[in-house]
Structure 1
Amino acid sequence: MEQPLGPDGDQQHSERWRDAMATFLDQVLCVCTSIRNNRNLQKLSLYGDTFMLQQEGLLDNSILHQIHQGDKKINEIQQLFMELLSNSRQLRWLSCSFMLGLVTPCSLACLSNPSAETLQHLSLLDHQHGPLIPPSELDRLSNIHSLALEFSDFTSELCGLLASPRRTPLHRLALLLNGAALEFKQLEGTPTEDDWKALIRASANLRVYIMALEVDSSELLRVLKPSLPLERLHLDSYGTMVSDAILELIAQQYNKTLTHFLLLRDGPDFPDLSVNRNEDPLVMLAWRCTQLAVLVVHGYTVWSHNLVAISRLRGSSLRVLTVSEESIDFDPDQSLYVEGDPVHNLVKEVSLGLGHVWHPCLDFSRVLSEPTQHFHRELHAFCTGM
């Protein structure tokens, strides 16, 4: 068992993270300085990998002010970023995710008029600040094809602006719903059912990708509107459990649009969502969602016979079926009517159902990647695959 850190250990720990943050600031300064005058820049994609800081409870802009000359460096970084936007002339892709201290609610106002005309993708994500995309600035970006932001910042007003007939239709919308941020970023003011309907009328080909981190079922019910054209849904948590009712809602509302569904939970137990139900909710989702191509499950009990049923229902159209070995359970009576090793039989039956060789996922770290990093990577694939 690890011993608690003493005073010396605490001091060393703090110094280590201060050094890490100082390095982070220096690297951001270096990058921004080198590209601030580049008028030919067409694509800028920045991701701040702050997962380790988040694990230590240090994911807060306030820690940057504890660094030597931290305030000065932060101001310089923000100024350089605004200069970069002001000097740009043909920017088409602007993505900045979780870059501590870089983007502020005023940054986008510095984007040059030529780049405002050419910009087709915009992604600004930061757990610390308020809305990073003011309505007045989004109104200026009339040729946006794809957009990514936090769900709490996607207001009814922004949705209304995107529904304007004067704009280029929106094709892709990626939304991150962070349960930990809901304490200070409320869902009041997010799009209503009528708002979504208006947006769909203006952007008939719109598809939406949502990642929900540690969000309970009551909050999910508030955001999963029937008219939302949901294509990809990633429900991820450490302790919060998704209810079977939510899975049923998803299967009913998005049966024609859902192609990717990830259900991940990194808790000590593996809840069984099929308890007290005649039909397993994951099987029903696979049956109803006829476009389902990717299904990933970890942290919930998946009975072997239900896994076989899913493979048979979707067949070869289910390109990816990833289920961690720990999540799979077997009917204790199965040995009475099925001979041989149950795992071998499962692999054989699922492989036959899918039409290709299948195996349970033995390394759950492949399934449980760091959520914000996964979102940044997936939104890139989602928005470039229009």
Structure 2
Amino acid sequence: MAAGLNWAALPSVLVVDILSHLSHEDRLKATSTCKRWRNYLFHPSLWKKMHFELCASTRQKTRFLVDRCGRFVREVVIKFNSHSVSDVREASRILSVLEDNKSLQCFTLLPSSCHIEWPDTQFPHIIDRFLDSIETIVRNSRKLQHISLGCVEELLEHSNVLIDLLGRRHAHTLKSLHISTVKEDTENYGLFQVDSRYFQRFMSLKHLSIDFDFLTNNLLESFIDKRKAQLEKLVIHVHGFNSEQEKVTNETWRILKNHSPKLEVTMNFIHSEEGVASMLHILQPSLPLTHFRQFFCTRINTAAINYMKTHYRESLKSVYIMDGLIDGNPNLYYSHTEEDPFVMLAWQCKKLQDLTIVGYEMTDEDVIAISRLRGRDLKSFNMPLCCIVSVDEEEQTVLVGPEYLGEDFIQKVSENMSWDWYPLEDEMLPHAVFYDDADAETAYMKILLNDQTW
């Protein structure tokens, strides 16, 4: 080695390369050895991705890192409490620093809520500041590949402006776009215009999440082009159902699936009793449904569940249903057939790996039947203990409570699953399952935001 044993004299390219192979802790130790190595600690190539989890205890550290790296980091995740004034203000500050970052490629917001609360009258226009910063980031970055707005409804007020800007600036680089929202009041919300023609510009888009309100034939047809990348992931948030809305035809889904054979569709019904009731108007045989979820929709559409087991037996991988109990008792769902629809779903859907049903009554025999039919294929099977009942066929009565379940009930399910299975205890469930006034967002925001990660 030309430098002999003088590590401080190593060429800069070698120092940076050495540091790139170290963990964050070891990198700090190595750069504390001398001033020259310490200068390379914040080399742009060593800080390609930064995850900011905002809280009071890390605020000083976060501000330091933002000031040092915010103008060259390539991937940024901002996780914050959207009900905390200090967190919201700090998130806005980070966005303002990122405005000057021309190297930014991936940008993700992970708020705790679908609404950003801002009671501070001193700065009344915080949403406008968020929007201005996001638009400036889009305008200044050179090769944006991923953007997620964290399901925040207020940030989509100028969705046309944002999508138009993305199409003009990043048509050939954008691969992942998440502009779906969460609306807690599904009976009364405003619709923002999304012009489907703007999507025709995107040449590389593979992942998209969007509200069902904006899903049209024209929008999906914009991805049916041999010159463009194939769509791989489509997440649809259903809040309401408007019978006058243009219906996406089965022919459009068929052509899209032929063009994008790897496409997986996730449908999330959120606080949408109307949407669940209208599921048979939404689903189409050629829709490649992979993941189905419904959160606090107050009912199960068993006809739609039967439809799924008929048409999605080759695509459906997971079903997640969560609702609140009624006066401490599980809800009932009614089937027009003798067989339980979820037992039939487990039997027919060959790729089903995850099944969660919370808030609805299911008999111990049906739980055992599902475990027997799906067996080792199920990676997760979640049923609350408080929702599993036993039926006394002789006296035609339903017995509620763990004391009425057979002593070998859990053992039978575990043997069928080939792993130790246990029903969910009450303390493992979100508070919204038991209390009407509890915040339901804590039950689903993490799941929905996980759809939008890069």
Inter-partner Cα distance in structure 1 for 2:377 and 2:415: 13
The corresponding residue for 1:55 is none
Structure with more of its chain in helix, by fraction: 1
Counterpart-to-counterpart distance in 2, 1:274 and 1:353:
26
2:363 corresponds to 1:306: no
TM-score by length of 2: 0.69
Counterpart selection for 1:41 from 104, 122, 130? 104
Q: Which residue of 2 aligns with 1:161?
A: 222
**Counterpart position of 2:279:** 220
Is the CA contact (8 Å cut-off) linking 2:105 and 2:146 kept in structure 1? yes
Q: Percent identity?
A: 20
Q: What per-residue deviation string (whole Å, max 9, x for no partner) do you get for residues 17-46 of structure 1?
A: xx9575465233212112111111121111
Relative to structure 1, the CA distance from residue 80 to residue 328 in structure 2 (aligned partners, 3 Å threshold; closer, same or farther) is same
Contact persistence 2:167–2:201 (CA under 8 A): no
C-alpha deviation, 1:242, in angstroms: 1.2
Secondary structure at the counterpart of residue 286 of structure 1: helix
Distance 1:252 1:323 in 2: 24
1:287-302 matches, within 5 Å, as 287-302=347-362
Alignment partner, residue 89 of structure 2: 26
Are residue 376 (structure 1) and residue 419 (structure 2) matched? Answer: no
Q: Give SS of 1:330's match.
A: strand
1:370 is paired with a residue of what secondary structure?
Answer: helix
- For residues 382 and 135 of structure 2, the distance between their equivalents in structure 1, rounded to whole angstroms, comes to 42
1:262 Cα deviation from its structure 2 partner: 1.0
Structure 2 counterpart of 1:97: 150
Alpha-carbon distance between aligned partners in 1 of 2:394 and 2:381, rounded to the nearest angstrom: 23
Match of 1:325 in 2: 385
8 Å contact 2:139–2:165 — kept in the other structure? yes
Q: Does 1:191 align with 2:244?
A: no
TM-score (norm. length: structure 1)? 0.80
2:164 to 109, 118, 124: 109
Checking the alignment, whether the CA contact within 8 Å between 1:230 and 1:254 is kept in structure 2 is yes
Q: Deviations over 1:163-200 (max 9, x none)?
A: 22332110110111113xx5xx7771242212211211
Q: Note the aligned Cα RMSD (angstroms).
A: 2.9
Counterparts of 1:260-271 in structure 2, within 5 Å, are 260-268=318-326, 269-271=329-331
Indicate the SS of the match to 1:261.
Answer: strand
Name the aligned partner's letter for residue 155 of structure 1. T
Q: Which deviates more, 149-158 or 104-113?
A: 104-113
Q: CA deviation at 1:313?
A: 0.6
The answer for unaligned runs of 5 or more in structure 1 is 1-18, 52-58
Instruction: Identify the range of structure 1 (195-204 vs 263-272) with the bigger mean alpha-carbon deviation.
Output: 263-272
For the 8 Å contact 1:172–1:207, the answer to whether it is kept is: yes
Q: Distance in 2 between matches of 1:101 and 1:365?
A: 26
Q: C-alpha distance in 1, partners of 2:193/2:446?
A: 19
Taking the aligned partners of 1:314 and 1:187, their CA distance within structure 2 comes to 40
Larger RCO: 1 or 2 (CA < 8 Å, sep 6+): 1
SS in 2 for 1:148: strand
Structure 2 unaligned spans of 5+ = 1-81, 184-188, 396-402, 434-441
Local SS of the residue matching 1:233: strand
Does the 8 Å CA contact 2:235/2:451 hold for their aligned counterparts?
no
Q: Is residue 122 of structure 1 aligned with residue 177 of structure 2? A: yes
* CA shift for structure 1 position 267: 3.2
Aligned length: 344
- For the 8 Å contact 2:303–2:335, the answer to whether it is kept is no
Aligned partner of residue 296 in structure 1, secondary structure: strand
In structure 2, give the amino acid aligned to 1:284. M
